[in-house]
């Protein structure tokens, strides 16, 4: 009788203990990324060119991953560094400078280019909104709305024949008075969907529709160009200078699409464009570094970050999981590392996007009770 009672008690307690253990369990890939790429003050280092620069993109992605990991202390540090160094200490007025590093002439560490990057700004705003929800932080939610307002004023353009469209940056992407250069990977549909939810009177709903149309119009035989040009006379086309390949930029388009909630109408609308790449099949051999937008020929061998980026894609389309996950290594592989964190984090169920673009995380679910 006593032995049976002990067994019943143990069984009744084991799920709670398991959930508690899982709640406390660190995300190893995130821990490795922090150790290898983030300074103690919250600066994310991209040493690809050997100059230890920081980009607003790096800060944005690190904010998102620290949120997924329920690492509020790190989130606070990353955001504080971003405001103080990329936004001149004034988040109400400025968008983040996209590039920060050591000025070669003066030797001063400072913003090297004050132009903002809208892909980073989108993920910073989204992470602030979700931090406001998950951690019940009114200041972060307020900061998210301010950033969204500044983005709408400076990074959106009313393109003739289209309507609202997101520019890659406020300056340098209007080719002339009636044509623009655009980046499809800067517009994750689920994130735009969320912005249209929290700001229904803003331009974000129209931008979401136009971003979907951009992908449908520019992806030929499933090959999404790194860069797209638009003119009222010719519509969307692969940019002749920067859009000859699908590569380091557009690999994120397939990642964003695969991570979408399949109940989102955009998932099925875009599936014909997203699922035609034979080189992305799990049995296709080595991934190419580049795929030509003019015929689909492959070039080079992709870094292992591409494998991570395609982990959700291969799971959604082929129910394939990688037997061995590439590690986060302490070299100049910042970009490959963030692609791995996105891809494998999603496949492992650490986060998911819902139909309205809102986020739920594994840790917030387990630790909320």
* End-to-end CA separation in angstroms for the chain: 32
Question: 28 with 78: CB under 8 angstroms?
Answer: no
Distance, CA of 307 to chain centre: 16
Kindly tell me the sign of the dihedral angle through the C-alpha atoms of 134, 136, 142, 145.
positive
Return phi, psi of residue 99, to 5°. -135, 130
Would you place residue 298 in the very low, low, confident or very high pLDDT band (cuts 50, 70, 90)? very high
Confidence at residue 163, expressed as pLDDT on a 0 to 100 scale: 98
d(CA 256, CA 192): 11
Among residues 46, 57, 226, 264, the one annotated as catalytic is 57
- What is the mean pLDDT of the segment spanning 222-241? 96
Question: 166 with 213: CB under 8 angstroms?
Answer: no
Question: Strand pairing of 228-231 and 179-182?
Answer: antiparallel
Question: Strand pairing of 245-246 and 290-292?
Answer: antiparallel
- What is the mean pLDDT of the segment spanning 222-232? 96
Residue 291 β-bridge partners: 246, 298
d(CA 223, CA 341): 24
Would you place residue 326 in the very low, low, confident or very high pLDDT band (cuts 50, 70, 90)? confident
Per DSSP, the three-state class of 155 is coil
State the residue for tokens 């959106």: 156
Share of the chain above pLDDT 90, in %: 86
pLDDT at 217 over 60: yes
Question: 166 with 207: CB under 8 angstroms?
Answer: yes
Task: Encode 254-276 in three state secondary structure.
Answer: HHHHHHCCCCCHHHHHHHHHHCC
d(CA 357, CA 300): 35
Would you place residue 368 in the very low, low, confident or very high pLDDT band (cuts 50, 70, 90)? low
- What is the mean pLDDT of the segment spanning 278-290? 94
Confidence at residue 330, expressed as pLDDT on a 0 to 100 scale: 82
Question: 181 with 242: CB under 8 angstroms?
Answer: yes
d(CA 117, CA 316): 30
pLDDT at 306 over 50: yes
Question: Which domains are present in the chain?
Answer: 26-367 (1.50.10.10)
Among residues 119, 239, 249, 264, the one annotated as catalytic is 119
User: What does the pLDDT look like over 3-62, one tens digit per residue?
Assistant: 444 333 333 343 444 555 666 678 999 999 999 999 999 999 999 888 999 999 999 999
Confidence at residue 20, expressed as pLDDT on a 0 to 100 scale: 56
Per DSSP, the three-state class of 5 is helix
Active site residue 57: yes
d(CA 169, CA 154): 8
pLDDT at 324 over 80: yes
User: What does the pLDDT look like over 117-153, one tens digit per residue?
Assistant: 999 999 999 999 999 999 999 999 999 999 999 999 9
Would you place residue 207 in the very low, low, confident or very high pLDDT band (cuts 50, 70, 90)? very high
d(CA 10, CA 30): 33
Least confident of 6-10, 299-303, 328-332, 344-348: 6-10
Alpha helices for 106-203 (secondary structure H):
118-134, 138-154, 189-198
């Amino acid at each position: 009788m006593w032995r049976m009672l002990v067994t019943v008690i143990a069984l009744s307690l084991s799920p709670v203990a398991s959930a508690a253990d899982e709640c406390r369990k660190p995300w190893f890939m995130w821990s490795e990324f922090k150790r290898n790429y983030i300074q103690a003050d919250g600066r994310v280092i991209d040493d690809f060119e050997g100059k230890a620069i920081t980009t607003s993109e790096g800060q944005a992605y690190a904010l998102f991953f620290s949120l997924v990991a329920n690492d509020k202390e790190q989130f606070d540090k990353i955001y504080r560094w971003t405001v103080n160094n990329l936004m001149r200490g004034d988040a109400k007025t400025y968008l983040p400078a996209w590039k920060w590093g050591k000025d070669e002439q003066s030797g001063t560490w400072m913003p090297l280019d004050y132009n903002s990057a809208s892909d980073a700004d989108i993920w910073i705003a989204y992470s602030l909104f979700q931090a406001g929800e998950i951690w019940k932080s009114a200041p972060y939610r307020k900061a998210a709305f301010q950033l969204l307002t500044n983005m709408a004023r400076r990074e959106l353009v009313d393109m003739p024949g289209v309507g609202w469209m997101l520019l890659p940056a406020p300056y340098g992407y209007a080719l002339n008075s009636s044509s623009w250069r655009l980046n499809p990977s800067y517009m994750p549909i689920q994130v735009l969907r969320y912005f249209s939810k929290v700001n229904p009177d803003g331009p974000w709903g129209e931008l979401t529709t136009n971003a979907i149309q951009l992908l449908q119009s520019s992806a030929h035989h499933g090959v999404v160009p790194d860069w797209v040009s638009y003119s009222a006379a010719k519509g969307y086309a692969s940019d002749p200078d920067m859009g000859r390949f699908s590569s380091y930029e557009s690999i994120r388009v397939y990642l964003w699409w695969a991570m979408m909630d399949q109940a989102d109408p955009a998932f099925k609308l875009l599936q014909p464009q997203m699922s035609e790449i034979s080189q992305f099949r799990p049995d296709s051999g080595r991934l190419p570094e580049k795929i030509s937008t003019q015929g689909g020929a492959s070039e080079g061998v992709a870094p292992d970050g591409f494998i991570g980026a395609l982990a959700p894609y291969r799971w959604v389309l082929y129910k394939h999981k990688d037997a061995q996950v590439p590690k986060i290594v302490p070299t100049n592989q910042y970009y490959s590392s963030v692609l791995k964190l996105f891809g494998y984090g999603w496949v492992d169920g650490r986060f998911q996007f819902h139909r309205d673009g809102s986020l739920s995380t594994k840790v917030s679910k387990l630790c909320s009770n």
